[in-house]
Structure 1
């Protein structure tokens, strides 16, 4: 599904990813952890073609539809939640209003609210970011610090949703500081000094 070979990326002569190798198979649920600046967000941006590598390759199967939440989610700040989600889904001609509204209800967001995104709290914005990453039946989901700003109930909802999506065969990669034991990870990697070290599973 996703194969990264000999991937390197630097910023201002600082090497962030150093000949990184990783292979992710369909249906895996992967957790990546590492200190701030270790390259987690950079890796996701490279996979999504937001950044270009200095060297190395990223091979993604042709049938892959990526959904991603990377760093702080960006929205049309003067528009509502419904407008933003509809706009994002329409870019891929994959707008399913019923499914989107169900996800909003699941994460306790009011889909019909007239409140503009600029007035959303950090947690509300994070929920909207999670929803846009999973609302189009994406089969490769990349989530960067997805529980930032979420309350305990929302974190529980997030964990249940991730496990259910993975049980449906979706491949999910989560990069975060917090290890959520409720999520049924299949692989755990530590990103350090630009390379991966695979952790032992409990």
Structure 2
């Protein structure tokens, strides 16, 4: 059974068609790259998979359960879509701790380990409002992985990262794949897609077209 099953999905915004009769299956343990020009629907596709938006027709099934108003957010998903909202006057650690308290799955030590893993200093008192774009991106990655989420939906995870941080993030993603996690990502850099992805799809004429 596919981890994520998208069947005959139509989606439009303000009269503009985004997807038409879209069918797509995601298998566990692979890295999928989603490509396409700006505005083609990459973020919308990810939002459909996460239950942030619903199809106009068709269905999205995750782990055998259809996403709808009574089952919105899949379990065990780590997500970067758009830029996460943070409490500007708090430190990065305090922001992540507030998020971790929602489920209560991890403690302070795991948060600190994850921050160090992505290249942030957990003891730093710097407020998030004073973070650089690259630091905010690392914080976004940290929140997506800190609870060992088994499915990662990463929309432009390399955005604003310097070369060393890009390499570190690539290694992390590859490690997660080796551990059996499932990852879907977008990137404006074709090299990221070529190096990491088992399968690559391009959004073309309101559908997904396999290119690798």
TM-score range, shorter chain: over 0.9
Alpha-carbon distance, 1:172 to partner: 0.4
Alpha-carbon distance, 1:4 to partner: 0.6
Post-superposition Cα deviations, 1:84-104, rounded to whole Å, max 9, x if no partner, equal 111112212212322321221
Whole-angstrom distance in 1 between the partners of 2:22 and 2:95 = 35
Whole-angstrom distance in 1 between the partners of 2:165 and 2:144 = 16
Provide the residue aligned with 1:112 in structure 2: 123
In structure 2, runs of 5+ residues without a counterpart are 65-73
Provide the residue aligned with 2:76 in structure 1: 65
Total equivalences in the alignment: 200
Provide the residue aligned with 1:43 in structure 2: 45
| Counterpart check, 1:193 vs 2:205 | yes
Greater shift in the superposed pair: 61-70 or 149-158: 61-70
Provide the residue aligned with 1:17 in structure 2: 19
The 4+ residue runs of structure 1 with deviation greater than 4 A are none
In structure 1, runs of 5+ residues without a counterpart are none
More relative contact order, 1 or 2 (CA 8 Å, 6+ apart) = 1
Provide the residue aligned with 1:34 in structure 2: 36
Whole-angstrom distance in 2 between the partners of 1:77 and 1:8 = 37
Greater shift in the superposed pair: 63-72 or 80-89: 63-72
Assess if the C-alpha contact under 8 Å between 1:34 and 1:192 holds in 2: yes
| Counterpart check, 1:90 vs 2:101 | yes
The TM-score with structure 2 as length reference comes to 0.89
Post-superposition Cα deviations, 1:153-193, rounded to whole Å, max 9, x if no partner, equal 00000000000011000000002221216743211101122
Match runs of 1:68-147 below 5 Å? 68-147=79-158
| Pair 1:74–1:3, CA change in 2 (3 A) | same
The TM-score with structure 1 as length reference comes to 0.93
Greater shift in the superposed pair: 9-18 or 92-101: 92-101
